[in-house]
């Protein structure tokens, strides 16, 4: 990468890592909020749900803003608004003020993702690698948020944790606004048909409709992955509590859920990095199929294993699941012209954070129906069969485009 591209990735990575601190900071302080506001977990859980809904809904206007005023400005706007909202959460005098502030935090933070990935897709040639770095930064933010929030509560109070979040959002907004890093790609440039390789400039405005079928297939894969992710990670700690009757590595079964969350985040970060590396070396459509097959197998194994084998299967799932994210982000760029890319990413993140959130509810219904959470994972694996079929379609379509391009070019 040239220096300009590295600045693009660094700014997006900073914003992404900070963006993901908000949701898990709230999760970390939730138990303290129960006592502080003399309420119950149900209402605070409802606040979390509305936060997540707002986070997903504002993805759509973010895409339009990114295409209208620029991705970098939209990123700065998201961070600045999130900083103000986090400070309002920190100073919340009443329970309902807290809830309203959390909705505002979700709505402003939700503006980030379509803008951030558009910024990368328009400014970096090695897109998959850049998306891999971007994903690692987000996972680092996720991993650090709970222990840092716990430390702030131990030293001061839960309000201090959100004051820190507000400070990080505000500083990041200033950095993103001031640092010069302009996308280099000409969104109107004509290029060869998107092939999922490092040199794909993306579809041109005159030809992108030929990629409509593959684009819809990528959205369908995103939907399936969103459902799988939410259902699996929601019930993974419970699965370990149910399936571990003895201590593992000196940690008892009751406490292992938190450790598993950390393991999942760690392997997810490694998977993001690996996906970014391979996505710029090989045709991206062809990589999706083997990843999907491993994910399906790992999910089925999770439903029928226990102890160390369960931990191994869960680690394989998170690694290969997250490996596919940079590939999917890159394929959106391959199949769309630059001027429409913000809106295309907006649809993707609406699907991911909005419809995908139903995975938790569906998983709960399966758990109630079967009397335990173990069957949630094979059910998610069955949904992964759809990803396998869609991946085959994308591979065949890519081969067809390559043949047509070869004939047309002589």
Q: Give yes or no for residue 368 having a pLDDT over 50.
A: yes
Other CB atoms within 10 Å distance of the CB of residue 7: 16
* Per-residue pLDDT tens over the stretch 193-242: 444 454 454 554 445 567 788 889 999 998 898 888 878 876 776 677 67
Look up residue 26 and give its two tokens. 């709230």
| Domains of the chain from N-terminus onward | 3-178 (1.20.1250.20), 208-408 (1.20.1250.20)
Q: Give yes or no for residue 291 having a pLDDT over 90.
A: yes
Which of left, alpha, beta for 337 (phi over 0: left; psi -120 to 50: alpha)? Answer: beta
Q: CA-to-CA distance for 410 and 405, rounded, in angstroms? A: 9
Average pLDDT, the chain: 81
| Residue partners of 65: CB distance under 8 A and separation at least 6 | 73, 74, 77, 111, 115, 342
Other CB atoms within 10 Å distance of the CB of residue 8: 27
Which H or E element spans position 178? Answer: helix 158-178
The CA radius of gyration of the chain, in Å to the nearest whole number, is: 21
pLDDT-based confidence at 182, cuts 50/70/90?
low
pLDDT-based confidence at 163, cuts 50/70/90?
very high
Q: Are 200 and 335 in contact (CB under 8 A)?
A: no
- Res 104: pLDDT: 95
Q: Mean pLDDT across the stretch 319-345?
A: 82
Q: Give yes or no for residue 410 having a pLDDT over 70.
A: no
Q: Give yes or no for residue 92 having a pLDDT over 80.
A: yes
- Res 83: pLDDT: 95
Q: CA-to-CA distance for 187 and 185, rounded, in angstroms? A: 6
pLDDT-based confidence at 362, cuts 50/70/90?
confident
Of 18-27, 186-195, 280-289, 306-315, where does mean pLDDT reach its minimum?
A: 186-195
Q: CA-to-CA distance for 20 and 230, rounded, in angstroms? A: 16
Q: Give yes or no for residue 337 having a pLDDT over 90.
A: no
Q: Are 71 and 116 in contact (CB under 8 A)?
A: yes
pTM: 0.73
- Res 355: pLDDT: 74
Instruction: Give which of 195, 180, 135 is closest to 402, Cα–Cα.
Output: 195
Where b means 16+ CB within 10 Å and e means fewer, 180-212 reads ebebebebeeebbbbbbbbebbbbbeeebeebe
């Amino acid at each position: 990468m040239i220096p300009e591209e590295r600045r693009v990735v660094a700014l997006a990575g900073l914003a992404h890592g900070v963006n993901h601190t908000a949701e898990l900071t709230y999760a970390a302080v939730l138990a303290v909020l129960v006592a502080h506001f003399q309420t119950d977990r149900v209402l605070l859980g409802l606040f979390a749900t509305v936060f997540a809904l707002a986070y997903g809904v504002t993805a759509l206007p973010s895409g339009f803003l990114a295409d209208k005023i620029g991705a970098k400005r939209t990123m700065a706007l998201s961070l600045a608004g999130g900083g103000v909202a986090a400070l309002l959460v920190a100073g919340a005098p009443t329970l309902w003020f807290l809830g309203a502030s959390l909705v505002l935090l979700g709505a402003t933070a939700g503006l980030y993702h379509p803008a951030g990935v558009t910024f990368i897709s328009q400014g970096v040639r090695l897109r998959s690698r850049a998306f891999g770095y971007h994903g690692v930064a987000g996972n680092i933010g996720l991993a650090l948020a709970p222990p840092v929030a716990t430390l702030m509560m131990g030293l001061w109070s839960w309000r201090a944790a959100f004051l820190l979040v507000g400070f990080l959002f505000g500083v990041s907004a200033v950095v993103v606004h001031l640092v010069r890093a302009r996308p280099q790609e000409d969104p109107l440039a004509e290029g060869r048909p998107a092939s999922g390789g490092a040199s794909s400039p993306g579809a041109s405005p005159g030809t992108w409709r030929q990629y409509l079928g593959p684009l819809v297939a990528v959205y369908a894969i995103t939907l399936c992955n969103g459902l799988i992710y939410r259902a699996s990670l929601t019930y993974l700690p419970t699965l370990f509590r149910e399936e571990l009757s003895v201590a593992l590595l000196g940690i008892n079964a009751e406490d292992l859920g938190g450790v598993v969350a950390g393991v999942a985040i760690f392997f997810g970060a490694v998977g993001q990095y690996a996906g970014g590396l391979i996505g710029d070396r090989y045709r991206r459509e062809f990589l999706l199929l083997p990843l999907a097959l491993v994910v399906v197998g790992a999910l089925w194994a999770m439903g029928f294993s226990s102890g160390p084998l369960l931990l191994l299967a869960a680690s394989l799932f998170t690694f290969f699941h997250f490996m596919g994210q940079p590939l999917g982000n890159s394929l959106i760029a391959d199949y769309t012209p630059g001027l429409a890319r913000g809106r295309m990413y907006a649809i993707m993140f609406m699907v991911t954070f909005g419809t995908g959130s139903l995975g938790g509810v569906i998983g709960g219904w399966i758990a109630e129906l079967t009397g335990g959470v173990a069957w949630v994972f094979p059910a998610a694996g069955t949904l992964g069969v759809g990803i396998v079929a869609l991946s085959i379609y994308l591979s065949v379509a890519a081969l067809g485009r390559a043949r047509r391009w070869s004939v047309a070019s002589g």
